[in-house]
Amino acid sequence: MSLYKSDSDNKTKLFENVIKFGPVLSILGYLSGIVYFSLLPHESLIHGTYISENALLPGLVTSDIYSTDSIFNYYHFLKDAYENNGGKGYNAELIHDIFANKLKIESYTQNFNLSNPFSNSETDGITSGTNAYAFGRAQRADGTESIVISAPIYLSGKKKKIPNLFGISQLFILADLAKTRPYWAKDLIFVATDMEHVGIQAWINSYFEAHSDSIKGENLRARGGSIQAALNLEFSDINTNKLEIKLEGPNGKLPNLDLFNTIIRICKSMQFECSLESEKSANSDFSYYHNRPPVDHVSGLINTVNMMLKQATGVPSSLNGYFLNYRIEALTISGTRTSFSSKRSQQKQNVLKTTRIVESTLRSVNNLLERFHQSFFFYLLPSSHYYISIGMYMPAFGLIFLPVLIKILSLWFEIFSNKKSTHSDRNESGLLMLDLLKCVVIKFMISFLFGIVLYLGTPFFLMFGKKFQLSPKDALMNCYLAMMANILMTPFIFRSKFSSSGNKTEAENINKLIILLFLTIFVGTISILNFSLSFFVAIFYSPIALLAIQNVQNRLAKFFKLAMMVVACPIVYFSFIYLLNQYFFENKNFFTNPGQFYVSLSEKFYNFVLFSQISQIWTYEMINLFLVPIWSALWITAFN
């Protein structure tokens, strides 16, 4: 053993162990990661939610809402305005009118424009709307902090728009309270938004004087100070006997868990059914007033996966998400009906309880001395009473990604520690550089070129589509698939240029190392920002990347490898997830009808891209800019 080698005997043994046991450790790590993740919602590993911020004191106040008469008055007034005259009378002007004249509080309207980000012309694609906002100034406070209660004027239902009559009526009741009661320490801001996601963004952007390319709103004429929390109310019907809470914000942000726990506890104390939107099993047995409901492992796992699917797209599940961009904790409370009991007294009870729940939440937030900072910002919810914190789910993610890390280590050892000292170095380094240039640099440049074309190309795709008289969604889908076909053809076109001369293995190993490093960096950084997205990418690309890198000789194995690589194309993979999502969670069977699947997929794809551009969601851009090049580099490598 000589001193020329940089490592001692112990280190060489370590290298050899890693290379020898690498595959076994990888498979073990990957499987144990999946098993560990599935076991997370189990009784032994789960934790019950708790209120971290002691100032919240949920449910301790006696409610100030005694009768439902005024609620029903407002509701019927709005309903008449909606049903007469084809619904034209029911808009932000009417709401502004009620705030200003009947309730006599400070109220304004805000006009805003939405311009289609992909069209250059001024004529098509500019829609406008109006928000109404009002301030219930606290009598005895100094107006430096505020709470926002927002309600969209229309909700987009399955087929058509549904007016949010009950939600807006609750705004009026709460405004009445804000005006007359002395215990409010923060101002209440009531916002009635038009055009759903666009309206609330226009209002928030104007509040913080932020700039957006596609949404331009008027300046706000008054403000309420620093916003501590926001609630969004969406009620499609006045007969609600269950509340559903939507959490997910844009780009994977989540509100502070304390706000969610507060609402759950308040509902529990009022004995009103409340759950997550994605929760399958609802437990209406309130005997657990002092305890939690029992842990159901399977449904917990299903709920977790459902929440992760929603978080992964980066699209906020409702309007509350846009508050999270400015670190204002926000939730959406939406009401649904589970049973059709039409007893009038029951209906009155439900209405009273719903309004009291919202009021009680506001009273709890009113108690806060500082912003929400105590509880978790990164979590997964298997049910409304249990949570999985980042410390529990990150190890699962690490284990799933272990195969790639072990492969990187073994590639590194192969490259750098088997230097044969008999070769002469003179020609070696020159050949090595040339090999590197051929194998590594060209492949990566082409791959990233594809990525950049996809990132910048959406306006051009739509322009091409217009020339060929295609609808926008068809155009986008076709062009995207054309780019994918381009990438698939690349190895065949450039076959001769990519093969290296001379010392093959050295440059190819470096190539594989760099691809895996890119994948690691991408997955690692996204895991902090949007955990679910990186989880779904890692769980599939971890074995796929290793498969692509492996040199196989058998014809059948080679065919299998190439087939898996085609499936690994990002759009194929994500549409596969979409298919499974529709099948399991929304009971739409697309397996029997592929044509309809393609149509619905292209529509969803176009809506997703358009929405991402308007609301500044980076999921689509990141996948185009990083995952597509990584996949295309793997595809090209898989051919050698």
Partner 1 sequence: MMINIYHYLIQLFTNKHIIYVFILIDCLNSILVYKISYKIIQFNCIMENFNKTNGKYARLFESKEKKDDFLLTEKNFKPIFWSLFAMVCYLFNPLNLACCMSQTTVLIQHFVLLMWLNFLLNGKIFMSYIFLAIHANIAVYSLVLIVPSISFIRQKKIFKRKQIKSEFNLISKHATVFVLLFACVFMFNLYLENFNTRFIDCTYLFILKVRDLVPNMGLFWYFLTEMFDHFITFFIYVFQLNAFLYSIPLTLRLKNEPLVNLLIQIGLLYVFKSYPNIGETGLFTSFLPCVAYLFPLMRNVLVFTCMLIAGMVLAPIMFYLWLGSGGGNANFYFAITLVYSVGQIFLLVDVFYACLKREFIKLNGSNVPLNTDGKPANFTLE
- List residues near partner 1 by CB under 8 A: 1-4, 6-9, 253, 325, 327, 377-378, 409, 412, 416, 419, 421, 425-426, 429, 517, 521, 524-525, 528-529
How does 94-123 read in b/e, with b if 16+ C-beta sit within 10 Å? bbbebbbeebebbbbbbebebbbbbbeeee
Tell me how far apart the terminal alpha carbons of the chain are, to the nearest angstrom.
36
Taking the C-alpha atoms of residue 361 and residue 368, their distance in angstroms, rounded to an integer, is 11
Dist. CA 396–CA 401, nearest whole Å: 9
Query: Smaller CB distance to partner 1: residue 286 or 377?
Result: 377
Shortest Å distance, C-beta 485 to partner 1:
32
CB of 539 to partner 1, least distance (A): 22
State the minimum distance, in angstroms, from the CB of residue 450 to partner 1. 21
CA distances for 437 relative to 115, 327, 610, 632, angstroms = 45, 46, 39, 18
Which residues face 216 on adjacent strands?
Answer: 113
Min dist. Cβ of residue 167 to partner 1 (A): 27
Burial class of residue 482 (count of CB atoms within 10 Å of its CB; 0-12, 13-18, 19+): exposed
Residue 6 vs 291, nearer CB to partner 1: 6
Output 4 or 492, the one with its CB closest to partner 1: 4
- Residues 6 or more apart whose CB falls under 8 angstroms from that of 435 comprise 500, 501, 502, 503, 504, 506, 507
How near is the Cβ of 327 to partner 1 at its closest, in Å? 3
Residue closer to partner 1 (CB basis): 7 or 64: 7
CB 100 within 8 A of CB 597: no
What burial class does residue 245 get, using C-beta atoms within 10 Å of its C-beta: 0-12 exposed, 13-18 middle, 19+ buried? buried
The tokens describing 436, both together, are 């590197």
How near is the Cβ of 308 to partner 1 at its closest, in Å? 17
- Output 442 or 488, the one with its CB closest to partner 1: 442
CB-CB contact of 570 with 627 (8 Å): yes
Write down the least CB distance from residue 436 to partner 1, Å: 12
Q: Is 250 in contact with 322 (CB distance < 8 Å)?
A: yes
Q: How near is the Cβ of 579 to partner 1 at its closest, in Å? A: 32
Name the strand (E) or helix (H) holding 71.
helix 69-83
Nearer to partner 1 (CB atom), residue 178 or residue 411? 411
Q: Which is nearer to partner 1, 8 or 85 (CB)?
A: 8
Residue number with CB closer to partner 1 (45 or 528): 528
Contact in structure between 112 and 129 (CB atoms under 8 Å) = yes
Helix 594-615 vs helix 472-493: crossing angle, to nearest 10: 100
State the nearest-atom distance from the C-beta of 430 to partner 1, in Å: 9
- Amino acid at the residue 337: R
| Helical segments of 271-330, H only | 297-312, 321-324
Q: Of 61 and 517, which CB lies nearer to partner 1 in the complex structure? A: 517
